[in-house]
Amino acid sequence: MIKFFRRIRQHLLAENKFGKYVLYAIGEIALVVIGILIALSVNNNNELRKLQQLETKSLEELKRALELDLSDINYNAKRHKNAQLSAEIVLEALNTDLPYHDSLSIHFERSTNITVFLPNLGPYETLKARGLDLIENDSLRNEISKYYEQDIKFAYYFEDANIQMWPMKFELILDHFDEFRMFDIAIPVDYKKLKEDRRFKSYIKLTSNLRGIESNVYANRMHSSCSKLIELIDREITKG
């Protein structure tokens, strides 16, 4: 091809057709420029397609992680609510003249056990490493950041408060319970003495309040945020 164009140029020069030669040279330059632009356009399209494929892959990974999170969120909401209800039953028993009965052993244990949220952070950390700007949809990118940087940390805040109460919890368990089986029962050594322990009552009141808050956090804020994000991601993937 290069030899072909070279022959044309030599022919025009040999016939002293300078004007035609200039026009030809301009046309040849234009063809080269057009060729370069086409090559750049093809390359840019290839790069754009690769980025879109990587975005879709990242969103699919996030969606799978969020679906697991949602199951954990629902589990935590239920566990916290059950713990709150058990704490209320224990408080009623401690503040009245009701005698000890076997079902209380279940509520003693349930009111003192805890649960923790274990979000699947791997896909989000991978996305951050790739760059959050990979997500082209601004509102979706903002919702992703909100869930991982705000909502999860909000849930962690109350879990940390629960963890801070562990030393008191274990001390009270050792003081008052002869048999304590996690996720099963807790049998007090001396029920009458337990009812007179102001610290134990204060602990149950505090844990009841805290577990009620945590139940609402998971059942409302976390469930809503996670469900909404799954829906937005699914819509974005389908659109693509």
In this predicted model, which residue has the larger pLDDT, 28 or 125?
A: 125
Greatest CA separation for the chain:
122
Confidence of residue 10 (pLDDT cuts 50, 70, 90): low
Residue 86: predicted pLDDT: 96
Whether 137 has a pLDDT exceeding 90, the answer reads yes
Lowest mean pLDDT: which of 24-33, 84-93, 177-186? 24-33
E-assigned strand segments in the chain: 177-180, 186-188
Residue 224: predicted pLDDT: 97
The reply to whether the predicted model has a pTM over 0.95 is no
Q: Residues 24-57: pLDDT tens digits?
A: 456 556 666 666 666 566 555 566 687 888 999 9
Confidence of residue 183 (pLDDT cuts 50, 70, 90): confident
Average pLDDT for the chain: 85
Rounded alpha-carbon distances, angstroms, from residue 9 to 5, 39, 69, 178, 208: 6, 25, 70, 104, 92
Residue 228: predicted pLDDT: 96
Whether 187 has a pLDDT exceeding 90, the answer reads yes
Rounded alpha-carbon distances, angstroms, from residue 22 to 6, 16, 28, 201: 14, 11, 10, 99
Residue 197: predicted pLDDT: 94
Sign of CA dihedral 224, 230, 234, 237: positive
Between 166-176 and 152-164, two packed helices, what is the crossing angle to 10 degrees? 40
Q: 222 and 155 in contact (C-beta within 8 Å)?
A: yes
How is residue 131 annotated by DSSP?
Answer: -
Residue 15: predicted pLDDT: 56
Give the residue-averaged pLDDT of 215-233: 96
Whether 1 has a pLDDT exceeding 60, the answer reads no
Q: Residues 149-173: pLDDT tens digits?
A: 999 999 999 888 888 888 888 899 9
